[in-house]
């Protein structure tokens, strides 16, 4: 990744570039600033720039072996530390135990998204930490001679998640660093970093993005018009993650709507073969998504029932949903609305209870077929 690929924050980019160009790189750098601006991306670009064999116009070349290794997160002198969770059989976890999840996370999230990291750890309610076991691992890695580069770089994401034992152990090598080692810490909340560590970090501050900059990111990464990008960016308060979740919600909603229409059409025409395919398709969603889809179905059945009563003040359908409901709603009425919702809620409970999704969803589709009035 190039500096130019990172939106905004020109002052921070210039500060880092100057340190590296002049070979006056502090041993411990702190990149801080609000969430959703790409701090981790900038840290990774700085590391790539440090290691690049052919820096060109203030950018990493992107084609030398070092750059290529950086692009695939496999650079031998670059290490990552980040918050993790304790496993069933692992009470002393380190980042290395989660390196595959981490690489997947980096490749899927150009802007680091903490919620997505929790999903990657398979526990959205987790409170991951950087444990004392990690500091031992860091000290070992940093004490070896570098593999091929002049500097070893360790990118530490969220130093505020270091537990005290870890921070105290790490303090020693931040106070007396190995001459060829560079720490780049990336923090959302620098005030929560242990003060003895914080005071030894060379600070590079990144700022909140403007609406225009968030929109620029959206236009680069999504098939979205300039006008739509501005409309999504404006309420996001400079946070790309917030803007991304608006876009994701929108596209998920569209997907759910398509599947709702398909279910009702197939159920009406008693097309069991296609319903089986439909249930297999839904079963390919992750479990949390199946639950969200079933909640969406319950909402649509309610909305259509209300629509059918012509109480237009009460429903909240968007335009394409309303067009469909115009023709479909007569099939949802006093005779079946409640039972349909009960079936949806039952399916949601069964999904939660680990039942076989394929069978459960096909069974559910058949029940809807029976309940649809012809």
- Least Cα distance to 92 among 123, 130, 139 occurs for 130
Q: Compute the least distance from the CB of residue 22 to Zn ion, in Å.
A: 18
For Zn ion, the binding residue among 46, 67, 206, 340 (CB under 5 A) is 67
Q: Which is nearer to Zn ion, 61 or 224 (CB)?
A: 61
Phi/psi for 224 (5° steps) reads -145, 140
Q: How far apart are CA 297 and CA 348, in angstroms?
A: 11
Contact segment (CB under 5 A) with Zn ion among 63-71, 109-117, 176-184, 201-209 equals 63-71
Binding to Zn ion (CB under 5 A) within 39-58 occurs at 52
Q: How far is CA 53 from CA 49, 65, 148, 330, in A?
A: 9, 8, 11, 69
Among 61, 224, 247, 337, binds Zn ion (CB under 5 A): 61
Shortest spacing between CB 20 and Zn ion, in angstroms: 13
Coil vs helix vs strand at 87:
strand
The nearer residue to Zn ion, 61 or 194, going by C-beta atoms, is 61
Q: Does 371 bind Zn ion (CB under 5 A)?
A: no
- Minimum Å gap between C-beta 273 and Zn ion is 55
At closest approach, how far in Å is the CB of 144 from Zn ion?
Answer: 23
In the complex, the smallest distance separating the C-beta of residue 55 from Zn ion, rounded to whole angstroms, is 7
Task: Select the residue interacting with Zn ion from 2, 17, 34, 64 (CB under 5 A).
Answer: 64
Q: How many of the other CB atoms lie within 10 Å of CB of 221?
A: 15
The number of residues that bind Zn ion (CB under 5 A) is 5
Nearer to Zn ion, 68 or 302 (CB): 68
Q: Which residue lies nearer to Zn ion by CB, 53 or 338?
A: 53
**Residues contacting residue 20 through CB under 8 Å, at least 6 positions apart:** 46, 49, 50
Q: Give the HSE-up count for residue 93: Cα atoms under 13 Å, Cβ half-sphere.
A: 20
SS3 113: coil
Measured CA to CA, the distance from residue 82 to residue 104 in angstroms comes to: 14
For Zn ion, the closer CB: 1 or 193: 1
Rounded (5°) CA angle 138-178-191: 60
| Interaction site with Zn ion (CB under 5 A) | 52, 60-61, 64, 67
């Amino acid at each position: 990744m190039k500096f130019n690929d990172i939106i905004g924050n020109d002052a921070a980019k210039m500060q880092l570039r100057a340190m590296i160009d002049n070979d006056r790189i502090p041993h411990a750098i702190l990149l801080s600033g609000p969430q959703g601006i790409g701090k981790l991306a900038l840290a990774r670009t700085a590391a790539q720039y440090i290691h690049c064999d052919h820096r060109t116009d203030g950018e990493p070349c992107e084609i030398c072996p070092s750059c290529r290794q950086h692009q695939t997160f496999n650079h031998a002198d670059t290490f990552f530390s980040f918050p993790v969770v304790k496993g069933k059989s692992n009470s002393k976890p380190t980042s290395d135990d989660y390196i595959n999840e981490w690489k997947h996370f980096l490749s899927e999230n150009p802007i680091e998204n903490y919620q997505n990291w929790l999903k990657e750890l398979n526990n959205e309610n987790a409170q991951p930490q950087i444990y004392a076991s990690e500091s031992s691992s860091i000290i070992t890695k940093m004490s070896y001679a570098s593999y091929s580069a002049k500097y070893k770089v360790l990118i530490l994401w969220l130093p505020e998640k270091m537990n005290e034992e870890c921070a105290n152990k790490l303090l020693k090598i931040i106070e007396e660093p190995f001459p060829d080692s560079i720490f780049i810490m990336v923090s959302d909340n620098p005030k929560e970093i242990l003060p003895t560590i914080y005071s030894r970090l060379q600070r590079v501050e990144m700022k909140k993005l403007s609406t225009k900059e968030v929109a620029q990111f959206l236009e680069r990464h999504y098939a979205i018009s300039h006008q739509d990008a501005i409309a999504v960016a404006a309420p996001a308060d400079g946070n790309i993650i917030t803007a991304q979740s608006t876009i994701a919600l929108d596209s998920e909603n569209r997907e759910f709507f398509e599947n709702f229409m398909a279910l009702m059409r197939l159920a009406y025409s008693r097309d069991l073969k296609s319903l089986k395919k439909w249930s297999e398709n839904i079963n390919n969603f992750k479990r949390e998504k199946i639950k969200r889809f079933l909640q969406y179905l319950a909402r649509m059945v309610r909305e259509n029932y209300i629509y059918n009563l012509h109480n237009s003040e009460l429903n909240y359908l968007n335009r394409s949903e309303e067009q469909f409901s115009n023709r479909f709603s007569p099939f949802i009425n006093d005779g079946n609305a409640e039972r349909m919702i009960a079936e949806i809620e039952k399916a949601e409970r069964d999904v939660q209870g680990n039942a076989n999704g394929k069978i459960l969803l096909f069974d559910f589709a058949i029940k809807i077929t029976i309940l649809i009035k012809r």
